[in-house]
Structure 1
């Protein structure tokens, strides 16, 4: 097997990089300042064409990663995870690149034959520098909305119309045109089939920098009906206060409909958490919050959830009084004292301690939270390994299954788990630690 650290970029790319370095040097030396106003605008447009054409290379590279199944060889769960680790991308950016490659990049059949790109008109327009990646995403999202009953020729016609429009219009305007095309191809508003609903189902809670979360998704009719049946009666406005001496602000519910729905959803989540107990043999279905002993004493500062989101210590302590919350105290390094036991399955207290120390899957670059992880013995139980914190670490299901096949091993150093890569990834086999553990 080739050592993946020994690769070099192609000579063709090296030539392009050299030309680009020369141009960047000219720009730094004041090239743009010597141009006329019209020339600056021409430079801007020409550079944008080049930027857009580069998307074709990105699609081809991402598709090639998938064709070679490199993510699996590197013991990463997906091509998106590989892009995040190799290029330091956010999950959103990596996901967008993979999605774009799937519809605009090259494809191969099961026997290796090359297939036509799913959106050939969009791919050709990108190769010519006519449309931006944002245009391409809008067009792909529009066409994805078409039901499976639409004739393929009409889908191709819609793609051509949208591409022509993208050469003249901004992405939002292309999206508006796309909605008109959808209305034309589905004038009666025919309900989607169960298969269509299942194909489009998705849901995500996206952490934001301010500590909150943004919900995004699309529910099936059954899921939406179940959720609404619970939320609707519990999101009704609170009745007005009966006492005549109450302030006017308390005589009616001042919350908006959206705020009432949010509060009902919070009630549902709290109910589910309070009804779920932490089993010795399973992952915790509860809120895990970590803080230092000093923070607990002062009741000040920011604690952290098992998903890496910040929450004020005062909020965390209030939440602990209302739901099934585990408050984990740690030292400055985040190392938790051992709770050694002689049984094979980690106890409840050991699991909580593992969460405080590992904060999720400890395999390098994996971002799976503790709730998705299993307890792994560094020295196998069958080989005499003990069930205590010095011999346990959290690993997600994928890495628990795949790390040995990929040639990785794990060892404890300075009270923390470190992973040893195989020589074909790193000839020096330098131990690696998931950087999440460093953010204590």
Structure 2
């Protein structure tokens, strides 16, 4: 039996398992009702870190099982089948674990030498307990979408940046930033993206089942999504076009003939899922289209997308633009859309727009909302991913407390997040980041003490993935510089090699 420090491997592993089981059992039996709010969240974080690190043990076990050919020995056709049979998990769960082990686990060559993980920085972040399975999946999905024509060095740098970003952000942050990173690696979209989009586009209708329901699946290209999003934003609003509610308003939620009180009452009764609301909206929109009589003379729907891009992107026609609904489409597709229809194109250049009103007006204007859509892109509360179409304009300093209706002190917030701003216990506060700070002018949200005892102001980067990438890049660069400096210091501290005759002085250099 192999040993580690004189202790058998089996005994050592068994001892760790006993300790783990005892710790988990002890935590399960603990009465947590006496924990203060701030301590409860700390326990959540510590438990989550341990669970994330436990996933690494699962990777090691899968690697060991595969390299021993254990599935075949035990009569299973694959390691997936082995996991399903031994652990009684679903096939989907088994597939996810094996996929993770392939890219994050430490595998070995035939000689026994350890091979580097496919995603080494991501694997290290998981070993540190900083990221979980969803973070790893998000990184892996982005890396998999990088075209093969991109140099390997760029792919390695991208993985390091995403792993660094994952340590401080959410899986959704990694996914959103991944779009920006992919656009950076392939700004013109000429490596594989165009061909892939044309190949993947399509909508498939299956056969009607016994309930006469038709399954639908497929992929929409960015332009089609940009056309569909504004329709769903208005027609799929809670309370609208509900076939189960005779009192539900039909058509467009923004139509002047829609009774606001009636819509609010219908929204309160609406128990449909978002998918069901989308379905009902599309059905009602198709019905209205067929009844309008325009199909015979009009080819396609008019575009009403609000597209946000920078002047630099417009001039170079590269990168990606965003829509008010949170969608992403390549710049050249956005420009093509603008040629064929009439979207509202918002650029970061608002000179001459009436955006400052002081105390003379309480409600924001359409110009101010367009400017905020371009700047904020969605709800500004940290972690919220509500797009601009689901938000309202709010004063950073409440109007009732003297707040002005000026663009620099207005922000976007969804109804749920805005309700969190109050002076009572557990209330959030907002302020504008001061000049000289990294995100000057942006809206900072100050969390209540039970979330952050230090109440450090937070910025929402969910709608600005480039900011996350830049910050992760800086951290990765700093980490590399620190590692390089440490290697230089270690090399300098290393004693000179001994002379072959046993002396301490170094050997003379070889003559030129």
TM-score band w.r.t. shorter chain: 0.3 to 0.5
Q: Which has the larger radius of gyration?
A: 2
> Please, what TM-score do these two structures have when normalized by structure 2?
0.36
Normalising by the residue count of structure 1, what TM-score does the alignment of the two structures yield? Answer: 0.42
